[in-house]
């Protein structure tokens, strides 16, 4: 293991695009070293190529082997892991549950929920030995204000939220665990809500209308929240759900 990096280190899953890419950029800008984990090899490599503070690991976050690799790379390169942000997630197109199949269920829970536990198994023991650490899991307002057609996704985010609260209890006082719950965002997931048809703009307007602040969640909204929860400014915050949703959860 090399000498410990003077800069703090964060692991960000799903960091090649959307909310994750904004989180990667924000932490790099603040002087952190960033280990970006994504299943999209091309986008992940490009993101790391553009920023000398970022290293890319190509992997499936639902596979325990990916987490062993992530830990090994972070410790080999920098000798420390200060924060981990579970951002990677998927959603199916809107449909009532009788039109969904269990393969969809299995895939969504494998990507959205399983990594919450795999990451804790792999990284929490090191953080305990290190004496500090922060986990931030990206949930969704789908768990508080569910929309029809997304039962599996909403249930997966409810699981993320409950797991986060439980882990906050299990690992206090050394490691903090918190959630960010965004509303629908300006990311690729937006198409699941609005579709790609000619009336997509009208559907988007309807989604925006449901949000009191009358706009979608922007990637920088989530990256700002992640920065706060990872920083010492939130040193007395654990087991909380920070709703970054323009009032959608009210």
Residues annotated as part of the active site: 153
| Structure letter (DSSP) for residue 140 | -
Structure token pair of residue 220? 């920088």
**Beta strands 133-138 and 9-13, pairing class:** unpaired
For residue 49, what are the contacts with CB-CB under 8 A and spacing of at least 6? none
| Structure letter (DSSP) for residue 96 | -
| Structure letter (DSSP) for residue 184 | S
CB of 90 closer than 8 Å to CB of 111: yes
CB of 213 closer than 8 Å to CB of 248: no
Q: Nearest-CA neighbor of 211 among 161, 145, 155?
A: 145
Q: Nearest-CA neighbor of 142 among 129, 151, 134, 132?
A: 151
């Amino acid at each position: 293991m090399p000498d410990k990096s003077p800069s703090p280190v964060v692991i960000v899953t799903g960091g090649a695009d959307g909310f994750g890419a904004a989180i990667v950029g924000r932490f790099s800008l603040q002087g952190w070293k960033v280990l970006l984990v994504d299943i999209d090899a091309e986008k992940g490599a490009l993101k790391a190529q553009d920023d000398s503070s970022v290293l890319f690991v190509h992997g499936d976050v639902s596979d325990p082997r990916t987490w062993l690799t992530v830990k090994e790379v972070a410790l080999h390169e920098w000798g420390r892991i200060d924060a981990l942000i579970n951002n990677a997630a998927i959603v199916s197109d809107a449909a009532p549950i009788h039109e969904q199949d269990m393969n969809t269920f299995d895939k969504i829970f494998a990507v959205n929920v399983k990594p919450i536990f795999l990451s804790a198994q792999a990284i929490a023991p090191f953080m305990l030995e290190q004496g500090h650490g922060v986990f931030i899991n990206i949930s969704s307002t789908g768990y508080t204000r569910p929309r029809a057609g997304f039962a599996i996704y909403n249930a997966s985010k409810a699981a993320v939220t409950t797991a986060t609260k439980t882990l906050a209890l299990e690992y206090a006082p050394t490691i903090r665990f918190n959630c960010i719950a965004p509303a629908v965002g300006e990311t690729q997931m937006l198409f699941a809500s609005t579709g790609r048809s000619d009336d997509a703009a009208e559907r988007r307007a309807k989604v925006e209308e449901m949000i009191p602040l009358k706009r979608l969640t922007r990637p920088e909204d989530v990256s700002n929240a992640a920065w706060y929860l990872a920083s010492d400014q939130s040193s007395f915050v654990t087991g909380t759900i920070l709703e970054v949703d323009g009032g959608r959860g009210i």
